[in-house]
Structure 1
Amino acid sequence: MRNDGRVTPRERLLARIGDINDFDRPRPMVTLREFFEGNDDPASIGYNLPGEPEPAEFYRLLTAIAAKPAVLDVRIEVKDLEDPDGWPSTDSIWIVTTASLETARTWFPDHLAPDEWYERAAIGVEEPVEPVPVPPGAHALCAWYD
């Protein structure tokens, strides 16, 4: 908590995700704002990519993707909190869209391209994650980073 009594974005995110090591709970699916506001930890996302891109670069990219007419939602699957003083980390970005997987691949520049993609009809059915609505006519694409 800040000196003025306000909660920091990191504290708000930690309260939102709860005990990330409780494997009986689905993994949190947070909004872009929840994950990126106040995040300057390069170990939080894309940490295996060459050049260690800053979270702000991912935030700009994913905000632009979220603004596309074919995109209904973009969520970050929080996976871990390795450093208790660091930012929670992810290896999975979920995009709810009516666009094809081939189209979604073009939205990522080469230096931020995921290692693999997964396509799902629903979020929270096959993976142990919080469910996210996927309306009829849309599907969920997961951009996964090794």
Structure 2
Amino acid sequence: MNDPAVRALKKELKKFDVERPLSSEEAEEMSELSQKLASEFERIAMAAVERGEYALPLVLVPYELFFEGNDDVGSIACNVEVHQGVAWYYAAFKRIASDSTVAAIYVEITDVGEVEDDNDSWPFSDKVHVVTKASDKQIEAWRQELQADEVGLADEADGVEVPKGYQVQVFWWD
């Protein structure tokens, strides 16, 4: 990468390439430089996305991983008028996952920015991908129950295994 800020940070980080344990001050400095380098990479990537040079890949996690230990109401469906709570959404997705027409459910992580600044916050999602062969009527019933603004077919499977006869329905909260 030919970015001057990235080159400078990499050069500074080279001084920590030593065959001895780092002092606590050195470790802290290395950590700060690494965070700055990560921020520079993020800045460069976002600028490329804004220019239309590439799209960021989807980050999909099994729904259990997203909900276990999560009590951050702002992490999902945060725009609904009366939020039922994260535990309610977890229970709803457990019930949907147990339906014989559902093969898997994945939560799309769309933002993790605030997690670094606030240890009580959780990654944010506004989309849940359900691998299903349910009828349109059933999918619409789930959309209404979940208070999702929209539901529709995913553009691509995005690395998700889709059994024959199934499709990926994306529930979205705007």
Q: Pick from 101, 122, 125 the counterpart of residue 70 of structure 1.
A: 101
Q: Pick from 142, 147, 150 the counterpart of residue 113 of structure 1.
A: 147
Per the normalisation by structure 1, the TM-score is 0.73
> For residues 46 and 63 of structure 1, what CA distance do their matches in structure 2 show?
16
Q: Which structure ranks higher in relative contact order (CA pairs < 8 Å, sequence separation ≥ 6)?
A: 1
Per the normalisation by structure 2, the TM-score is 0.62
> For residues 141 and 119 of structure 1, what CA distance do their matches in structure 2 show?
5
Q: 1:93 matched to which residue of 2? A: 128
Q: 1:46 matched to which residue of 2? A: 77
Cα deviation 1:10-48 (Å, max 9, x = unaligned): xxxxxxxxx9x6666522111121101110000000100
Q: 1:121 to 1:90 in 2, by over 3 A?
A: closer
Cα RMSD (Å) = 2.1
Shift of 1:59: 0.2
More divergent stretch after superposition (85-94 vs 45-54): 45-54
> For residues 41 and 27 of structure 1, what CA distance do their matches in structure 2 show?
21
**Is residue 143–residue 171 contact of structure 2 (8 Å, CA) maintained in 1?**
no
**Is residue 70–residue 86 contact of structure 2 (8 Å, CA) maintained in 1?**
yes
> For residues 25 and 107 of structure 1, what CA distance do their matches in structure 2 show?
28
Q: 1:118 to 1:108 in 2, by over 3 A?
A: closer
Matches within 5 A, 1:1-146: 25-83=56-114, 84=116, 85=118, 86-110=121-145, 112-120=146-154, 122-124=156-158, 131-146=159-174
Shift of 1:62: 0.3
> What is the number of equivalent residue pairs in this alignment?
120
**Is residue 80–residue 89 contact of structure 1 (8 Å, CA) maintained in 2?**
yes
Query: Identity across aligned pairs (percent)?
Result: 31
Specify which structure has the higher proportion of helix. 2
Unaligned runs of 5+ in 1: 1-18, 125-130
Kindly name which structure, 1 or 2, has the bigger radius of gyration based on alpha carbons.
2
SS at match of 1:33: helix
**Is residue 121–residue 139 contact of structure 1 (8 Å, CA) maintained in 2?**
no
Specify which structure has the higher proportion of strand. 1
